[in-house]
Structure 1
């Protein structure tokens, strides 16, 4: 069974932003001969997350508002006591809220591949959540299956 790995690079912007990475995943799949199998999409960062949901602007605004309510940046967090943490870089941000938002979502998604296409539903997209931008991010795409 062939297995293909590809890193997808994404430049994000300030604060919480949501990126539809479905086209990049479809492009990687199109370079393979895999017809039936699965795609594993994995976020390689502790302040990003992945989800499958609808990529609709008003819904994305609702999601951002929801995440900000779950972990407000203005709350007091132990992780933000930078002076008490050993071996941290000088440019370390106070981003405990971003870590907390990330753990409420997921670091990976698995999408079936059927007849060489992602088997997503009509309104489903693969979304990358940036929770601590701006940053350069990488997402691992691993495709496996039969040709």
Structure 2
């Protein structure tokens, strides 16, 4: 056990939630891969004049998902795609293949990732870390039109 304090916490702050603002973000994906949604979500936070609260993102699909990941080195996204492909390969003998060999693996990849995210909003800004970005992950090989619901709950300016 160490005697020095290794954890610190700022004083709590509170606001009264006075705003619920929602928007539907439509994304045309190019096919399998990551699409950065960070700037669009930041624009939404700015447009609704958000101050403090929480932004929820929810994708309305079962073969695409959401994640927060590194935005500095593109090889991270390449390696993440490789990892997901290894976890749910197309040639695994899936029963459900109605829409092709990438159909069931896409559902498994969505189950392994997330369909919703919540990001704190502090002083009108997304409270993401320096190297974090919000991504839509397209798990299907061909392009798709995807819908992401954005909803801010909190106080505004």
TM-score for the superposition, normalised by structure 2: 0.83
Higher share of residues assigned helix: 1
Which stretch shifts more, 55-64 or 113-122? 55-64
Look up the SS of the partner of 1:73 in the other structure.
Answer: coil
Q: How many residues align?
A: 136
Partner Cα separation in structure 2 for residue 18 and residue 99 of structure 1: 16
Partner Cα separation in structure 2 for residue 35 and residue 101 of structure 1: 34
Runs (4+) off by over 3 Å: none
Structure 1 spans left out of the alignment, 5+ residues:
83-91
Look up the SS of the partner of 1:78 in the other structure.
Answer: coil
Alignment match, 1:100: 108
Partner Cα separation in structure 2 for residue 62 and residue 33 of structure 1: 37
2:107 corresponds to 1:60: no
RMSD: 1.1
Pick the structure with greater CA Rg: 2
2:151 corresponds to 1:134: no
TM-score for the superposition, normalised by structure 1: 0.88
Alignment match, 2:117: 109
Residue deviations 1:107-139 (CA, integer Å, cap 9, x gap): 011000000000000101111100013101111
Give the one of 85, 96, 115 matched to 1:79: 96
